[in-house]
């Protein structure tokens, strides 16, 4: 894709509008304020995490008056997550610069279109098929060797809107359940992976690209639990994963960040699973372990500034803190931590300021900067902050 040669540079002092006021918007604003930018966010919750660090327009994402106010107050607009109304982003594009654009958002919101775009760009993906009936699910399962993952084409997040099928007899119930949630479904072949990986790439309007190191991700109940960096994979696979992310950023004309989630199979093959065109949970490790954080990099990209260096400066493990971890986190934060000194690690807490701790709700994360990832994992075991954790 061609660079946008005439895209203006937005210097510090300008106001960045954020569609969404959650933790990603909050961390974006924290990095941006440090650089001298001002922030205004639109979110339906008056106590949204971003409200503590930015002006807040309290309105639904599709509210015409709220969107108009956001466009009037911002010099540039970005979105913090992809589950916002693409039509609302289209309306914003007519009133203010939205460098990420609505086209990529629409693509990332629809699993089938996303897979087709990746396939057209020559990016390896698992076999997939659109399915409109239980019979079509059964036929696709046969073609995929008997196992697959049935997903809604739209609306899935943190494991929602999908069911793993291991035999044809499960097709009827799964189709009935998921077709009640969304009008379009896609069946993907089940991939028996060795590792789940993600790579975050940034691209500016001028065509400059920077790629962060691959993270090895471990999920619990479909929610990201750990990101381990460097990933425990061969150097050649690391390089290949980075090249895939770079190719995707170029092929899709990305401006800002693109998070590329991948599977590494037992035979060493990388298959791209899904995309997220914004800062990503698995990129939080960059805040304390890279020369540039993913949030600063996103701002640099959308403002058409030179991108920062993306190199890792220390091994790190990022661990999410959910609602059920909150009490243990408070106890750890108040106490001495002799294990950190003994193991040579530095745990860095990032708390999102949410008003209520709920089970499975992301409340914060800890970046455990360490001489090696094994020391970081050992500290996790001793901290007792993540009970029943399997690593």
- pLDDT tens by residue, 252-310: 999 999 999 999 999 999 999 999 999 999 999 999 999 999 999 999 999 999 999 99
Give me the domain span that covers residue 325: 193-383
Average pLDDT of the residues in 42-66 = 97
Query: Residue 155, annotated ligand binder?
Result: no
Tens of pLDDT, residues 248-263: 999 999 999 999 999 9
Q: With 50 as the cut, is the pLDDT of residue 389 above it? A: no
CATH number for position 92: 3.40.50.20
The two three-digit tokens of residue 57, written as one number? 């327009």
Q: Provide the pLDDT for residue 3.
A: 56
The two three-digit tokens of residue 319, written as one number? 């661990």
Burial 317-348 (b: 16+ CB within 10 A, else e): bbbbbbebbbeebeebeeeebebbeebebbbb
State the chain's maximal CA–CA distance in angstroms: 60
Q: Provide the pLDDT for residue 390.
A: 47
User: Is the domain of 235 the same as that of 321?
Assistant: yes
Q: With 80 as the cut, is the pLDDT of residue 160 above it? A: no
User: Is the domain of 176 the same as that of 292?
Assistant: no
Confidence of residue 85 (pLDDT cuts 50, 70, 90): confident
pTM (predicted TM-score): 0.95
Would you say residue 6 lies in a domain? no
Q: Provide the pLDDT for residue 158.
A: 65
Query: Residue 160, annotated ligand binder?
Result: yes
User: Is the domain of 183 the same as that of 267?
Assistant: no
User: Is the domain of 225 the same as that of 238?
Assistant: yes
Average pLDDT of the residues in 231-249 = 98
Which is more confidently placed, 333 or 365? 365
The chain-wide mean pLDDT, for the chain, equals 94
User: Is the domain of 367 the same as that of 253?
Assistant: yes
Query: Residue 273, annotated ligand binder?
Result: yes
Query: Residue 274, annotated ligand binder?
Result: yes
Q: Provide the pLDDT for residue 2.
A: 52
Tell me which of 168, 189, 210 is where a domain ends: 189
Beta strand pairing call for 256-265 and 193-203 = antiparallel
Tens of pLDDT, residues 329-354: 888 888 889 999 999 999 999 999 99
User: Is the domain of 28 the same as that of 87?
Assistant: yes
User: Is the domain of 145 the same as that of 273?
Assistant: no
Query: Residue 191, annotated ligand binder?
Result: yes
User: Is the domain of 199 the same as that of 181?
Assistant: no
CATH number for position 159: 3.30.1490.20
Query: Residue 159, annotated ligand binder?
Result: yes
Residue 156: how many other CB atoms lie within 10 Å: 19
Q: With 60 as the cut, is the pLDDT of residue 364 above it? A: yes
């Amino acid at each position: 894709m061609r660079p946008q040669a005439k895209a203006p540079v937005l210097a510090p002092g300008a106001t960045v509008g954020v569609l969404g006021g959650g933790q990603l918007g909050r961390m974006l604003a924290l990095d941006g304020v440090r650089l001298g930018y001002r922030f205004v966010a639109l979110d339906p919750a008056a106590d949204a995490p971003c409200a503590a660090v930015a002006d807040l327009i309290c309105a639904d994402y599709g509210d015409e008056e709220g969107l108009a106010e956001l466009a009037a107050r911002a010099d540039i607009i970005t979105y913090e997550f992809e589950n916002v109304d693409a039509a609302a982003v289209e309306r914003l594009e007519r009133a203010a610069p939205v460098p990420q654009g609505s086209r990529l958002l629409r693509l990332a919101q629809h699993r089938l279109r996303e897979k087709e775009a990746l396939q057209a760009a020559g990016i390896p993906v698992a076999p997939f098929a659109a399915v409109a009936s239980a019979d079509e699910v059964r036929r696709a399962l046969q073609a995929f060797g008997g196992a697959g993952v049935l997903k809604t084409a739209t609306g899935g997040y943190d494991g929602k809107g999908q069911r793993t099928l291991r035999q044809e007899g499960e097709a009827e119930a799964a189709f009935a359940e998921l077709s009640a949630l969304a009008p379009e479904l896609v069946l993907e072949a089940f991939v028996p992976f060795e590792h789940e990986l993600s790579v975050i790439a940034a691209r500016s309007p001028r065509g400059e690209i920077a790629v962060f190191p691959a993270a090895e991700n471990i999920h619990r109940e479909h929610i990201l639990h750990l990101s381990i960096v460097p990933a425990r994979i061969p150097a050649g696979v690391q390089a290949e994963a980075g090249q895939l992310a770079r190719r995707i950023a170029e092929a899709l004309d990305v401006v800002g960040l693109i998070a590329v989630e991948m599977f590494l199979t037992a035979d060493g093959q990388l298959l791209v699973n899904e995309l997220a065109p914004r800062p990503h949970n698995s990129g939080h490790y960059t805040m304390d372990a890279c020369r540039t954080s993913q949030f600063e990099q996103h701002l640099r990209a959308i403002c058409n500034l030179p991108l920062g260096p993306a190199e890792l400066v220390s091994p790190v493990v990022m661990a999410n803190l959910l609602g059920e971890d909150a009490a243990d986190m408070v106890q750890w934060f108040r106490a001495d931590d002799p294990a950190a000194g003994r193991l040579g690690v530095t745990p860095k807490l990032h708390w999102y300021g949410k008003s209520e701790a709920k089970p499975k709700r992301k409340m914060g994360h800890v970046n455990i900067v360490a001489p090696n990832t094994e020391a970081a994992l050992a500290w996790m075991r001793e901290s007792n902050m993540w009970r029943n954790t399997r690593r």
